[in-house]
Structure 1
């Protein structure tokens, strides 16, 4: 991929996410690679930007351990498959309060730009990628409109709320997350 794409990817990832890291696929079980990312035990195979702006609070989680270390089995019960368009919708809201369109100022005017940025981030993973989220709306309906869903998530942190997208390609696993601590 071109240097321009890398620059665009890094800008979009930094803008949209509190946490954006990619790991190489090391085997058949993508969950182990996602777990390694969440535990900060890997680095981007392309050497691209890694974002870790987890909030510093009096919570257990912070930049040194942004996630409560997940067990592999938690990925079976706490993340749900979604098609790319739903993953793009979710990615475009990771920086918004409550990860919700209604909480994003001027969302209707900014929607196209936010979705383009999300498409850039997820486009890195190619046409054969699959996507997962902890937004529980996807549990019962992977095709749900993620702009108009219940704001319930299976949390991977001890922050009041977190939301994310996991992208899995044959070669890489990306973990993209937002953390909400309230006002």
Structure 2
């Protein structure tokens, strides 16, 4: 029987027994949950900015607290970004050493770009700053949640236990 089909061997001298195993189902379940959180961060951010702070972000102020379909598109884009980040994390987990460190850097730099982007357009400054703040919170949520998901999705090999006292094997 092949070790790759049934998991690592239980023989202590087998190198496959000492390797960590990725649990992709757990990774993608966490990625889907992160996508939901990212979309909700955007919706809550828009509601806060438009409804409480009265800053017309994504739509003219006459469109109400939620705005218009731009808010829905923004939330869907945040969810898609979280799923894309999950795919990147999956690739890094199987291909590079120290994958969470690389993911943290890539995610942080992508978040920085998402924060700076609205500041480069000619919108009113308050609207651009509000969008940048929403992008910052969304990016931090995605990166921090997926870093936590990565540690839960990797099953580490168990440490060998010392024999119980009085054991003479």
TM-score by length of 1: 0.24
Task: Pick the structure with more helix per residue.
Answer: 2
Answer with 1 or 2: which has the greater Rg. Answer: 2
Scaled by the length of structure 2, the TM-score of the pair is 0.26
